[in-house]
Amino acid sequence: MFFGEERESTGTVLRWLKGKQTVTESTVKNFNNTQSNNLNVFQFPIFQLLEPNLKKTELFALIKQYQKSTSLGYLWSFPHTEQFPLNEYANYIICSPEDSDALFQLGGVHGFLGVLMLVRLAEITKDSTKHFLLMQDAYRAFPAFCRNKYFKKRWIEFFKLLQGIHYRVYTSALTIAPRIEIIQKQINAKHHPTIRHKWPRSSTNFRFIEPEKPFELASLPSRSCTSKTALFKYETQFF
């Protein structure tokens, strides 16, 4: 049980749940005397990363917190805790800091956390191509994050916040559509393996069957754009 679900005589938690009172760190620390998980959940950086107006300096500080310098360069380094355990089957090195597919396979809260950092970095650096690709992996990683008991009951609120981050970049907003029914199904599924060697295999070709993608991509009609004028007209028509 964590701070969003406790019962106490002051009515503070009830006001939190109704949105009538803001949760503050000092209040959570008071509750932390009886529920040791409160402060760890409250301070988890997912809330900061989902803030629309996240500052560049804040993002860089978070990335630095979860990456370490090695002889191979910078690698992701996520702590294993009781509240946020690492996937026991995913204890491999994620070599590239930008390997969002490996972060998706890492699963859990940390995989989503890493992808979301990359999404916000692409947004801040105005790299729309990277943002388009990373948002797809953010939606892939999102159900595994929401399966954590501290976030599962509020998954729809987290989904809306993620959508808000998604729509901050115009091209991604136009070309990616989340499939909420798939997201909900994966959150509530008995098993939702994200690491590749735990995926089921096809009975025909024995290849791994990837989890269903919780998003759709816009399909553009095939059209020849052989000149700048034609391309401009096409873009005007599309947008």
Per-residue pLDDT of the chain in tens (239 residues, 90 and over written 9): 444 444 555 666 556 555 555 555 555 555 555 555 665 666 688 999 999 999 999 999 999 999 888 877 888 888 776 667 776 655 565 768 899 999 999 888 999 999 999 999 999 999 999 999 999 999 999 999 999 988 999 999 999 999 999 999 999 999 999 999 999 999 999 999 998 888 889 889 889 989 999 999 987 655 554 444 543 443 434 33
Residue 78 shares a structural domain with residue 113: yes
pTM metric for this prediction: 0.78
> What six digits make up the tokens of 161?
């916040």
Asked whether residue 62 falls in the same domain as residue 29, the answer is no
- Quick check: 157 and 150 in contact, CB under 8 A? no
AA letter at 98: E
- For residues 156 and 214, membership in a common domain is answered with yes
**φ and ψ at 199, to 5 degrees?**
-75, 150
Does 186 share its domain with 112? yes
Residue-level pLDDT at 30: 58
Tokens standing for residue 47: 């809330």
How far, in Å, CA of 235 to CA of 223, rounded? Answer: 11
Residue 86 and residue 112 share a domain: yes
Nearest CA to 96 out of 123, 137, 53, 67 is that of: 67
Are 102 and 202 within one domain? Answer: yes
Asked whether residue 49 is assigned to any structural domain, the reply reads no
Q: Could you tell me if 107 and 195 are in contact, meaning their C-beta atoms sit under 8 angstroms apart?
A: yes
Structure tokens at 70: 């090695």
Residues 6 and 104 in one domain: no
Question: In the chain, at which residue ranges do the beta strands (DSSP E only) sit?
Answer: 67-70, 73-76, 176-178, 215-217
Instruction: For residue 51, tell me if it sits in a domain.
Output: no
Do 28 and 102 lie in one domain? The reply is no
Cβ count near 137 (within 10 Å): 24
Together in a domain, 118 and 149: yes
Q: Which tokens hold the place of 163? A: 């959508």
pLDDT given for residue 70 in this prediction:
80
Shared domain check, 70 and 39: no
- 10: its two tokens: 């002051």
Q: Is residue 29 domain-shared with residue 141, that is, in the same domain?
A: no
Residue located via tokens 């630095």: 64
Q: Can you tell me the distance from the alpha carbon of 84 to that of 40, in angstroms, rounded to the nearest whole number?
A: 9
Q: Is residue 50 part of a domain?
A: no
Which range marks the domain in which residue 211 is found?
58-238
Q: How far apart are CA 45 and CA 131, in angstroms?
A: 20
Same domain, yes or no: 204 and 125: yes
Is the residue at 48 inside a domain? no
